[in-house]
Chains A and B, each alone.
Chain A
Amino acid sequence: MRTRRITPWLFTGPALLALIFFLVYPSIETIRLSFFGKYGTSYVGFQNYIYAFTNQTMLTAFRNNALWVVLFTGLTVSLGLLFAVLLDRVRYEKVVKSIVFIPMAISMVGASTIWKFVYAFRPPGASQIGLLNAIVVALGGEPVGWLIERPWINNFCLIIVGIWIWTGFCMVILSAAYKNIPRQLMEAARIDGASEWQVFRKVIVPLLGPTIAVVTTTMVVFVLKIFDIVYVMTNGNYATEVIANRMYKEQFAFSHYGRAATIAVVLLILVVPMMLVNIRRFRRQREMR
C-alpha cells in the first residue's frame, strides 16, 4: 500500500512507545539491577545469583518448579490426549468437552478457592466438610492435611489444581489435530490386525507428534511462571514455594530489589529456550500449511 512517509510511524508509534516503556526498558533495567544490592545502589557482582542458586528456600522453589514441570506438563498433555482420542468415539463429546474446558474460563484465584474447599481439613472425629477428607474418612481412613503434608502430598495437591484448569486447553488443541488425521490411516492399521493400543501407539501418537510438542512446550513455559495457585493456597509455606512467588516476596515482603530482579532474570533464562523452540515450530507449521 502507498502511504506518506510519516503514516506508518503514526500507526505503529503508540504501540511501539508502550512496548518500549513497559517491556524493553524495564527488562534491561532489571538485568542491570540484578547485579546491584538491596536498594539497587551498590554494585555486588554475581552475589545475587550466588544467593539465587544456593539459598535453601530458592532450592526448594527450584525443586518444586521442576516437580510442576514434570507432573503438570505430563498429566495435562496425556489427559488432554486421552480426552481427545476417547471423546471422538462417543455421542456426548461436546458436553464432556465443555465440562473439562470450563476451568479455563475462571481465574486461578477462583480455581484455587474451589480446590482449597475440596482439600478442607478438620481434626479426626470432627465432621469433614472437605470432599476429599470426607471420602477418606468414609473409606475408614484418617483425615489428611492435604496442603500441609510436606513435601510430596501438598505439592501434588497444588499441581492437581493446575491440571484441572489446563487439561481442557490441551484437549481442545489435541482434539482439533486428531480430527484432522485421515480416518483411513487408522482403518488400514485395524484391517492389518493392529489392536486399538497399537493403533494409538503406532499411528495416532506419531501423527500428533508436532502438536503434542507444541502443547508440551506451551505448558512448560506457562508452568515455569506459575504463581496464583501457590500464592492463594499456601503462599509458599510448608515447602511449596515456587520461583515466581519467591520473586514477589523478595520484592514486596523483603524489599530486596537486587534479589527480586535476579530471580526474574533466572525465570527469563529458563523460559526463553522453550519459547524459542515453540516459535520456531509455529513458524514451520505455518510454512507447511
Chain B
Amino acid sequence: MMPSGFTRFFARTPLHVVLIGLAIVWLLPTVGLLITSLRPPADVAQTGWWTIFQHPFDFTQYSIRNYRSVIYEAGMGRAFLNSLIVSLPGTVLPVLLAAFAAFAFAWMDFPGRNVLFAIVVGLLVVPLQMTFIPVLSIFARIRIAGTFPAVWLAHTGYGLPLTVYLLHNFMAGLPRELFDSASIDGASTLQTFFRIILPLSVPAIASVVIFQFLWVWNDLLVALIYLGGASSVGPVTLRVANLVGSRGQNWELLTAAAFVSMALPLFVFFSLQRYFVRGILAGSVKG
C-alpha cells in the first residue's frame, strides 16, 4: 500500500526538523556577526544582536559607521590592500611555475623524472613548521624578512607540491594525439605549451588558482612568521587577530573587521561555487 501524501509528510517531519535545525545552527553565528557589525556601539554593548528582531524594520538601529571606523581608523582598509598585494603574486607565481613543471613531468622524457615527481608529491607531507626557522633566518640575512617578497616567495615554495601534483594529473590525461599533431605542424615546445596545453588546462588551472588564492588570503601562520605579529604590511587575517587581542570587548569593531576580511572569499564562493568546491576538494591534502 502506498502511504498517502499526508502520512508521508508527518513521517518525514523529524527529518525536516533535524535538517533545518542544523542548518539554522550553522547559519546563526554568521548572521549574528553580520547584524552586530551594522549596529551602533552603544547598542552592541547593551543588548544581544537578536533584539533587533523585535522591530526589524526600524532602520535607525543600523549604521555602516563601524565599517568606516575599522577601514579608516583600525587599519582594515590598509590590511585589505596588503592582503591583495600578498595574494595576487602568492597565487600567480606558484601556479605559473607549477604549470611549467607539471607539463614537463607529464609529457617529457628525462632521466630521474619519476623519482623527482615522487619527491615533489612526497613534500606534501612536510608540515610547514619544519621550514620556518631556517627560511626565516635566510630571509633575515638577505634583509627581506617582514616584507612582501618574503611572503610571496614563501607561498610560492609552499604552494608548489600541491599545484604541481594537481596540474600534472590533469595534463597527463590530455590525449597524446594533440602533441603528435603539434609536432607535425612544427610547433616548438614552448608554442605547444602556450597554445595547446594552457588553454586546454583552464578548468584545472581555475580550480588550482581559486584554492591557492583562498589559501593565501585566509592564511595566518605564514604571514605571522614572515611578516611579524604587529606588522604594518600585515594582511587582514593578521589585523583581525590583533584586533581580537587588543580590542577584545569592542564587538562592533571586531565583527565589522571580521566581515571585511571575509568579504572577498564569500564573493568568490557565491560567484564561482563550482570551481570553488572543486578547488577546495582537490586542495584538501595540503600541508
Partners in one complex: yes
**Residue B130 at the A interface, CB < 8 A?**
yes
**Residue A271 at the B interface, CB < 8 A?**
yes
A14 to B218 alpha-carbon distance, docked (Å) = 26
Task: Decide: B130 and A265 in contact? CB cutoff 8 A.
Answer: yes
A164 to chain B, nearest CB (A): 7
Using A96-B23, A105-B265 as known contacts, say yes or no to A19 and B161 having CB atoms under 8 A apart.
yes
What is the interface residue range for chain B against chain A? 35 or more
A115 to B244 alpha-carbon distance, docked (Å) = 12
**Residue A27 at the B interface, CB < 8 A?**
yes
Residue of B nearest to A107 (CB): B218
Task: Decide: B50 and A134 in contact? CB cutoff 8 A.
Answer: yes
A169 to chain B, nearest CB (A): 6
A231 to B238 alpha-carbon distance, docked (Å) = 11
Residue from the list A5, A19, A105, A173 in contact with B276, Cβ < 8 A: A105
Using A15-B100, A26-B131 as known contacts, say yes or no to A105 and B214 having CB atoms under 8 A apart.
yes
Residues from chain A with a CB closer than 8 A to the CB of B200 are: none
A95 to B20 alpha-carbon distance, docked (Å) = 10
Task: Decide: A107 and B237 in contact? CB cutoff 8 A.
Answer: yes
Task: Decide: A26 and B26 in contact? CB cutoff 8 A.
Answer: no
Residue of A nearest to B285 (CB): A218
A221 to B284 alpha-carbon distance, docked (Å) = 10
**Residue B262 at the A interface, CB < 8 A?**
yes
User: Which residues of B are in contact with A by a Cβ distance under 8 Å?
Assistant: 12, 15-16, 18-20, 22-23, 26-30, 32-33, 36, 44-50, 97-98, 100-101, 103-105, 107-110, 113, 116, 120-121, 123-127, 129-135, 153-154, 156-158, 160-161, 164, 179, 183, 189, 192-193, 214, 217-221, 224-225, 229, 236-237, 240-241, 244-245, 251, 254-255, 257-258, 261-262, 265-266, 268-269, 273, 276-277, 280-281, 284-285, 287
User: Which residues of A are in contact with B by a Cβ distance under 8 Å?
Assistant: 1-5, 7-9, 11-12, 14-16, 18-19, 21-27, 29-30, 33, 40, 79, 83, 86-87, 89-90, 92, 95-96, 98-110, 112-118, 120, 127-131, 134, 164, 169, 172-173, 218, 221-222, 225, 227-228, 231-233, 235, 244, 247-248, 251-252, 257, 260-261, 263-265, 267-268, 271-272, 275-276, 278-279
Cross-chain pairs A/B with CB under 8 angstroms, 28 sampled: A5-B110, A15-B101, A15-B160, A19-B157, A19-B161, A22-B154, A27-B126, A96-B22, A99-B27, A102-B266, A103-B26, A105-B265, A106-B218, A109-B241, A110-B237, A113-B254, A113-B255, A114-B33, A225-B127, A231-B241, A244-B221, A248-B224, A248-B225, A263-B129, A264-B132, A267-B127, A271-B287, A276-B125
Nearest 5 Cβ contacts at the A-B interface: A22-B157, A107-B218, A11-B104, A26-B131, A15-B101
